[in-house]
Amino acid sequence: MAGPLFNLVLAGAFYFFLLDDIPHFLQQHAFFFIRANLVLACFNLLPALPLDGGRVYRAVLVTKSDHRRATEAATRLGKVFGVLLFILGLALFSYDYLNLSISLIGIFLYNAAQREREKAIYAFLRYLSRKEKELYKKGVIVGRTLIAYEDTTLNQVLRDFRPQHYHLIWVLDRSCRVKRWVSEAEILEKAWKKGTHLPLKKI
């Protein structure tokens, strides 16, 4: 919330404390500055990644779901708002109300949301790696067991990880015989080095 709040503070400070002290010929620029900060605050509060409002929205969703699903929901909204802004810009331009800058903002928001979704898995890996520090500090952490076939990819396994738990994965062959178990630390290490499309049997 820091970004939008800072814009509101700047707009409020100019309006309530500085506007009367500004020379008359500069007041038009001051009003533009106030309007610009208000628009920026409102735009950044849209619940769509990668905007600040999208990060707040994701933080709320994480309390009820997991990081991956929360990120996907917030980036979906980012794409929706991008498309809506693009259409709105074209509609207003056709009626000579505004220029095409709103449509360009829509394109930017859509592309930024797509990039945010693509890199979400790596942000999630960094988030999970902090648990090792927590385990070292506390000495104990809540565990969770997963069972997966050996040809399951790391990406599929990571989708079932929960930030609040440390995971142990029992790896089975297609006859459902246990091959071995793999720790979360091993999964994260291989995901960083080899990529998330690596199957468990390659570990």
DSSP state string for 60-83: HHHTTS-HHHHHHHHHHHHHHHHH
Secondary structure of residue 98 in the 3-state scheme: coil
pLDDT in the model for residue 62: 75
Domain that holds residue 6: 2-122
The DSSP bridge partners found for residue 168 are 145, 183
First vs last C-alpha separation in the chain = 41
Q: CA dist 15 to 30, 40, 109, 114, 119, Å?
A: 8, 16, 30, 37, 40
182 and 111 in a common domain? no
Under DSSP, the state recorded for 47 is S
**Is the pLDDT confidence value at 146 over 90?**
yes
> Based on the structure, what is the number of domains in the chain?
2
| Per-residue CA distances from 112 to 13, 119, 127 (Å) | 31, 11, 21
* Residue where a domain stops, chosen among 107, 122, 137: 122
Q: What is the rounded CA–CA span in Å between residue 138 and residue 132? A: 10
Q: How confident is the model at residue 20 (pLDDT cuts 50, 70, 90)?
A: low
Q: Say yes or no: 45 and 104 in one domain.
A: yes
Q: How confident is the model at residue 124 (pLDDT cuts 50, 70, 90)?
A: low
Model confidence at 25: pLDDT above 70: no
Final residue in a domain of this structure, among 122, 138, 157: 122
Q: Where is the domain boundary, 122, 152, 173?
A: 122
d(CA 31, CA 198): 56
Q: Mean pLDDT for the chain?
A: 83
Evaluated on CA atoms 145, 146, 150, 155, the torsion sign reads negative
What is the maximal distance between C-alpha atoms in the chain?
A: 83
**26 and 112 inside one domain:** yes
The answer to whether residues 191 and 113 belong to one domain is no
CATH number for the domain spanning 162: value is 3.10.580.10
Q: Which residues pair with 103 in a beta bridge?
A: none
User: Quick one: average pLDDT of 175-183?
Assistant: 92
Q: In terms of domains, do 85 and 137 share one?
A: no
φ/ψ of residue 147, rounded to 5: -125, 130
CB 162 within 8 A of CB 183: no
